[in-house]
Amino acid sequence: MNMFEEARAMSGTLRLCGLTQAELGKRLGVSQSCVANKLRLLCYTEGEEREILRLGLSERHARAILRLDTPEERLKIIEKVDKMSLTVRETEALVDSQVIKQAPREIGRADRLSGIESFRTTLKKCADTLTSLGVPVTLTTGFWGDKMYITVCIEEI
């Protein structure tokens, strides 16, 4: 059974037996979140399912791509994932970049600045981790006009 057939089987069992996701998970020996994640795959169209299966993408790839709103957006990313042979982590990053592009421009300046600072903090932690492992990393922030530039420099080992 492929991931989509499993999802349909779970959905049918929930409906026929009147079980909760937690109860079904217990009977199958998996967590409720595992059942919920599998059921999310049912949001794909038939065409998307066929393409995911044809390309041999994993369930984790499929769940990452599902964060996009429309079948057209998802199919475009599915093709890109295949063409570039992206890992799940790389696929998640690609989807993140698309979701950020779709974020409404009306987000308040304070919220945007908070997000930027959170991003800088994450980069700083990554740089500190690499430095502690003996990989020299320099993180600099600069401004040019109304843009902020963050530069990560990893020195040769």
Beta carbons of 93 and 122 less than 8 angstroms apart? no
pLDDT score recorded for residue 106: 47
Provide the greatest CA pair distance for the chain: 62
pLDDT score recorded for residue 9: 96
Rounded CA gap, 95 and 67, in Å?
7
90-104 burial, b at 16+ Cβ within 10 Å, e below that, comes to ebbebbeebeeeeee
Place 42 in a pLDDT band, splitting at 50, 70 and 90: very high
Spell out the domain ranges in the chain.
1-43, 58-103, 109-154
Angle between helix 71-84 and helix 46-55 axes, rounded to 10 deg: 10
Rounded CA gap, 155 and 20, in Å?
53
> Tens of pLDDT along 50-109?
999 999 999 999 999 999 989 999 999 999 999 999 999 899 988 887 877 655 554 555
What 3-state class would DSSP assign to 92? helix
More confident residue, 147 or 39: 39
More confident residue, 112 or 23: 23
Mean pLDDT to the nearest integer, 36-44:
94
How many alpha carbons lie under 13 Å from residue 111 in its C-beta half-sphere? Answer: 6
